């Protein structure tokens, strides 16, 4: 028996779900055509990549995130379970919705570990899901598609997504930029936007080590919460705070994936990595909104 390539398998998987898509060029309906492309009624065509994802950007975009960074994120999130309590809380909120299956879109999904974890928890509770992850960074989607099967992974812009109106019950937006007009267009009636934003204590050990006494040492999410409330009815907000002990290799990963550390003084970074393990604070807020 000849095994089907990942490209062909992904195209086969998306075929039944092609009603979700709209052409990124002309906004018309799309369908999967042989051997492995998504094509619109007017003939604009997008090929599945050999890793199984699909690039639906009308023109390439260069982002500042590389593949190593997403591999590092995957290690910290999947192996060290750095965000486990956050993922659990999000899955709990998604499970309150009656829809079956639950159509979930993660906007700015990075390397896909959160979406995978959330979908797994929802499915473990007996609810079927259709999970779609999008990110502008091809390198993140590459890692996602290479690691997590049974989901749709697309390179796409969350401000102008290649999906039809009212297609998702849940939109996730975890530590990523938002576009509320687009999220509102995509949400089904009764659907939920679940946005995760940092609070003042988030990664405070990094802030203190690299930016003591400078304005970067503090952070407030007030403005973000205000903007959310201008566009969505805030139905719930949950603060989550905990510390997680990380060993040296995990701390190196954390430093590599945190923009906060990229511009820090090298000597301060080296000093920070000297004394391990270290307890690192996760301080986040989950905002839940409806249209
Ligand atoms: C800080 S990372 C968070 C990634 C992931 N949600 C997580 O929590 O691990 C922000 C992500 O948003 C993505 N991003 C930024 N602008 C975007 C856009 N316009 N459309 C889609 N993704 C975007 C970046 O490429 C990056 O992967
Ligand atoms: Zn088209």
| CATH code of the domain in which 189 resides | 3.40.50.150
Q: Say how many Å lie between the CA of residue 63 and the centre of ligand 1.
A: 10
CA-73 nearest atom, ligand 1? 9
Ligand nearest to the CA of 258: 1
Going from the Cα of 1 to the center of ligand 1, the distance in angstroms, rounded, reads: 40
Residue 94 zone, left/alpha/beta (φ > 0; ψ -120 to 50; rest):
alpha
- Considering the domain architecture, whether residues 4 and 38 belong to the same structural domain is answered as yes
Last residue in a domain, options 51, 67, 85: 51
**Ligand 1 mutation pick, 74, 107, 110, max ligand atoms within 8 A of CB:** 110
Q: 87 and 30 in one domain? A: no
Question: Do 15 and 113 have their domain in common?
Answer: no
Same domain, 72 and 32: no
Atom 10, ligand 1: residue with shortest CA distance: 176
Report the pLDDT value the prediction gives residue 2, as an integer from 0 to 100. Answer: 60
- pLDDT tens digit sequence for 48-68: 999 999 999 988 888 878 888
Output the CA 19–ligand 2 centroid distance in Å: 14
pLDDT in tens, 220-244: 788 999 999 999 999 999 999 999 9
Looking at the structure, tell me whether residues 165 and 26 fall in a common domain.
no
Statement to judge: residues 189 and 47 lie in one domain: no
Angstrom distances, CA of residue 187 to CA of 87, 172, 242 = 20, 11, 31
Kindly state the tokens that stand for 205: 């050990």
* Residues 38 and 57 both lie in one domain: no
Which ligand 1 atom is at minimum distance from the Cα of 109?
Answer: 6
With a 6 Å cutoff on the Cβ, whether 195 touches ligand 1 is: no
Q: Determine the atom of ligand 1 nearest the C-alpha atom of 174.
A: 6
Whether 19 and 44 share a structural domain:
yes
Domain limit, last residue, from 34, 51, 68: 51
Q: Compute the distance between CA of residue 154 and CA of residue 133 in angstroms, rounded to an integer.
A: 6
Tokens of 37: 């492309």
Q: Is the pTM of this model over 0.85?
A: yes
Tell which atom from ligand 1 comes closest to the C-alpha of 65.
25
Q: Specify whether 46 is located in the same domain as 129.
A: no
- DSSP class of residue 44 equals -
Does the C-beta of 82 come closer than 6 Å to ligand 1? no
Per the structure, the complete domain to which residue 46 belongs is given by 1-51
Q: How far apart are CA 164 and CA 160, in angstroms?
A: 11
**2 and 88 co-located in one domain:** no
| Average pLDDT of the chain, as a whole number | 93
Based on the fold, state whether residues 37 and 73 are members of the same structural domain.
no
Q: Is the CB of 133 under 6 A from ligand 1?
A: no
- 227: its two tokens: 């903007």
Q: Is residue 154 located within the same domain as residue 199?
A: yes
Q: How many domains does the chain have?
A: 2
What are 6-65's pLDDT values in tens digits? Answer: 999 999 999 999 999 999 999 999 999 999 999 999 999 999 999 999 999 988 888 878
Domain boundary among 36, 51, 66: 51
pLDDT tens readout for residues 202-226: 999 998 888 876 666 566 788 999 9
Based on its alpha-carbon atoms, the radius of gyration of the chain, rounded to whole angstroms, reads 20
């Amino acid at each position: 028996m000849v095994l089907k390539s990942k490209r062909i398998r992904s195209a086969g998987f998306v075929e039944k779900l092609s009603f979700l898509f709209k052409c990124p060029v002309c906004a018309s309906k799309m369908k999967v055509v042989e051997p492995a492309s998504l094509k619109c009624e007017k003939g604009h065509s997008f090929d599945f990549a050999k890793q199984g994802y699909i690039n639906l950007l009308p023109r390439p975009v260069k982002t500042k995130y590389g593949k190593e960074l997403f591999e590092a994120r995957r290690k910290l999130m999947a192996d060290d379970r750095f965000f486990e309590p956050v993922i659990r809380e999000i899955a709990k909120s998604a499970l309150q919705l009656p829809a079956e299956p639950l159509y979930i879109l993660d906007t700015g999904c990075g390397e896909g570990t959160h979406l995978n974890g959330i979908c797994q928890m929802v499915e473990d509770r007996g609810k079927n899901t259709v999970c779609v992850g999008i990110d502008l960074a091809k390198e993140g989607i590459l890692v996602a598609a290479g690691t997590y099967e049974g989901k749709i992974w697309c390179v796409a812009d969350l401000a102008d997504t290649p999906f039809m109106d009212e297609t998702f019950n849940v939109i996730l937006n975890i530590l990523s930029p938002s576009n509320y007009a687009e999220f509102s267009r995509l949400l089904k009636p009764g659907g939920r936007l679940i946005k995760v934003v940092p609070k003042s204590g988030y990664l405070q050990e990094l802030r203190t080590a690299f930016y003591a006494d400078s304005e970067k040492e503090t952070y407030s999410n007030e403005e973000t919460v205000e903007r959310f409330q201008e566009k969505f009815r805030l139905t719930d907000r949950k603060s989550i705070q905990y510390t997680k002990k990380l060993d040296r290799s995990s701390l190196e990963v954390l430093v590599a994936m945190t923009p906060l550390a990229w511009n820090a003084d090298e000597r301060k970074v080296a000093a920070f990595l000297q004394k391990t393990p270290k307890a690192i604070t996760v301080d986040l807020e989950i905002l839940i909104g409806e249209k």
